[in-house]
Amino acid sequence: MHCPFCRHADSRVIDSRTSDDGLSIRRRRQCPQCGGRFSTIETASLNVIKRSGVIEPFSREKVMSGARKACQGRPVTEADLAVLAQAVEEAVRQTGSSQIDTNEIGLAILGPLRELDEVAYLRFASVYQAFDSLEDFEASIAQLRADHRAGHRVDAD
């Protein structure tokens, strides 16, 4: 990595720190030529293959904006969306592959979104899983109800 001050071709690492979420490493570097200090952030590359075939880097911001649309008018905060995007990134990184398609991201969003808000979940699922009839909604709602009943039985007594 070139020094951003004098363009010297080499730099020395003087400090390394892993981010709180464990997904990136921040390195403090010093240029041996001019003494300038700068930081680099290292993350494992994770790319998304879009439906059009275009490949672009994974972006938490895009996950948040996708989920945000489904959450319109719902009691969901930006902080909730940030936590959701982090959970999605951790889930897709855990698959161990460096390239995933947008559909896998959609599926990874469904779980945490359901925890956050069931109405937003249904909206999102209807788009991502291409619901094309009322039966699709009914099946999803029936599943949510069944899970509720299972949950209630646990805290009943």
Among 3, 81, 87, 113, binds Zn ion (CB under 5 A): 3
Q: How far apart are CA 59 and CA 89, in angstroms?
A: 9
Q: What are the CA-CA distances from residue 11 to residues 4, 14, 58, 84, 144 (Å)?
A: 10, 9, 28, 36, 55
Examine residue 36 and tell whether it contacts Zn ion (CB under 5 A). Answer: yes
Mark 119-148 with x for binding to Zn ion (rule: CB under 5 A) and - for no binding.
Answer: ------------------------------
Contact indicator for 34, 3 with CB cutoff of 8 Å: yes
**Residue from the set 27, 28, 30, 33 that interacts with Zn ion by CB under 5 A:** 33
Contact pattern from residue 5 through residue 24 relative to Zn ion, giving x for each residue in contact according to CB under 5 A and a dash for the rest: xx-x----------------
Beta-bridge partner residues of 17: 26
In the complex, least distance from residue 35 CB atom to Zn ion, rounded to whole angstroms: 7
Query: CA separation (Å) from 156 to 35, 53, 110, 150?
Result: 66, 50, 27, 10
Interacting residues toward Zn ion by CB under 5 A: 3, 5-6, 8, 31, 33-34, 36
